Amino acid sequence: MKSRYVVGIFALFCLCACTGCWDNVELNDRHIVLDMGIDKGEGENYKVTYSIPDVAKLSGSESLGEEVKSTLSVESPTLARSIFEMEDRTQNTISLSHLKAVLLGKELMSNSRLFKMAMESLQENMEVGQGTYLLAVEGKAEEIVGAEHYENPIIGLYTMQYFNNEERASGSYEVQTLGEFIKSIQETGIGILPIITENKEEATLKIAGGTLIQDYQWAGLLTPEDMQAKLLLQGKVHRVPIVVQTKDNYYTYEMARENCEVYYTEEGEELSIEVNLATEGKLIEYGVELTEEEGRDVMLQAINHFVKEACYEQLTEGIKHAQSLNIDFLGISQDLYKKHPQLYKKYGPKWEQHLFEGARINIHVTSKIEGFGMV
């Protein structure tokens, strides 16, 4: 009998613990931040902009607030301190457990100490998921986080939906998450962040191109074409329309699949790199009727030739840009290390010093048109 009482009291004690003990917080007492912008502030401070959505308004319920979100900026020497200072100014506490996107200003990315500290702070914060998206801003992140975008008021939700939409063609940017970015910097010293820009007149947002980061330092801008070259090398381009022009007509070739193999051989004391790109796609827009009588096969061959040329040019330009910066953002040295560690031992140390700059990379492209015509 006595033991039953003991068990009963113990069970009640455990039940109390189930509420979360000292950590019990009502949802209404929290500001759930979905996106934030980090800029360099005065001196060696951060300027952190938190976008706080009105959750009631967002879900379509009645709310006392007028706006769907409010943005608050705070200058602080560390990110942790910025949360403390923010909480001084609001009735609720700040929760980063649902953070979807972090926007980084150019000035911040140009200061390696602040940038590195910010990334490490986000990684240390157990509330912030490793899958939080990172985006670069070619100005101040505060301006995009704080701006009113009627169609997409919450940048965090916008980026989440943007990147999660698998139907979207991929070819002008590379998705970057906190965990992947830190891993990339730690392993290779190089990371690329997609650039988000705002069209103030239309109040729309666009994600394209990339910001090149080397050892937590801004190292250059990558155009959407550079990004496409990188993605072509990785075999990640799909559904990208390539427009080619023959005598008097435009043809649109949609790249459905592509496969890129890189081969490394040693010729004497030189490393020879061969890039073999194979694409498959279909003509989705061609304007004229392609019948056998009108020399369809000849026309297809000509289109194929132009597609190959377009891909070749894109890869060549991307490689040239990487060589001019002397930063292997295409990941060729990493590929060499993973596939041929013995060759890497010999050429790897010289790679970043001078070898990459002058490396001869031969490109071979094959393309295949799978289908065309009305169904």
Partner 1 sequence: MFSHNGRISARQVTILLLIDLLNMGILILPRICTLYGGRNGYLLPILAIPLGILYLYSITRVINHFKGATFYEITRKITTKVGAWVLTCLLVFKLVLGMGLELRLFGELITKVMLPTTPLAVILLLLLLSASYLAKSGLEATARLGEVMAYFIFIPLFIILGILAVQSDYEQVMPLFQIENSRIIEGIGSVSLWFMPIELLFIIGGLMREPKEAFRAGSISIILGGIIEAALVIFTLCAIGPTGTRQQIWPVLTLMRSLGGEQAKIEKQEILMITLWIFSTFVYIGSQLCSTSILLSRFCHYKRENVFVLPLVIIIYFIALWPVGLSTLYGIYLNFRYTLNLWFLLIIPLALWGLLKIRRVKDEK
Which residues in this chain contact partner 1 in the complex, by CB under 8 A? 7, 10, 14, 17, 20-23, 98, 123, 126, 128-131, 133, 163-164, 166, 175, 177, 179-180, 182-183, 186-187, 337-341
Nearer to partner 1, 37 or 331 (CB): 331
**End-to-end alpha carbon distance in the chain:** 81
DSSP summary character for residue 238: B
Beta-carbon-side half-sphere exposure of residue 212 (alpha carbons within 13 Å)? 20
Q: Rounded to whole angstroms, how far apart are CA atoms 282 and 253?
A: 6
How large is the greatest C-alpha to C-alpha distance in the chain, in angstroms? 99
Q: Is residue 35 within 8 Å of residue 100, measured between CB atoms?
A: yes
Nearer to partner 1, 224 or 348 (CB): 348
Q: Is residue 51 within 8 Å of residue 147, measured between CB atoms?
A: no
Q: Rounded to whole angstroms, how far apart are CA atoms 17 and 96?
A: 24
Nearer to partner 1, 98 or 308 (CB): 98
Nearer to partner 1, 264 or 286 (CB): 264
C-beta of 37: minimal distance to partner 1 in Å? 20
Q: What is the 3-state secondary structure (H, E, C) of 132-191?
A: CEEEEECCCHHHHHHCCCCCCCCHHHHHHHHHHCCCCCECCCCCCEHHHHHHHHHHHCEE
C-beta of 11: minimal distance to partner 1 in Å? 10
C-beta of 250: minimal distance to partner 1 in Å? 34
Nearer to partner 1, 41 or 331 (CB): 331
Angle between helices 224-234 and 296-325 (to 10 degrees): 100
Nearer to partner 1, 22 or 150 (CB): 22
C-beta of 279: minimal distance to partner 1 in Å? 22
C-beta of 164: minimal distance to partner 1 in Å? 5
DSSP result, 298-324: HHHHHHHHHHHHHHHHHHHHHHHHHHH
Nearer to partner 1, 9 or 243 (CB): 9
DSSP reduced 3-state for 91: coil
C-beta of 129: minimal distance to partner 1 in Å? 5
C-beta of 114: minimal distance to partner 1 in Å? 20
Nearer to partner 1, 72 or 117 (CB): 117
β partners of residue 369 = 281
C-beta of 41: minimal distance to partner 1 in Å? 27
Nearest 5°: phi and psi at 2? -60, -40
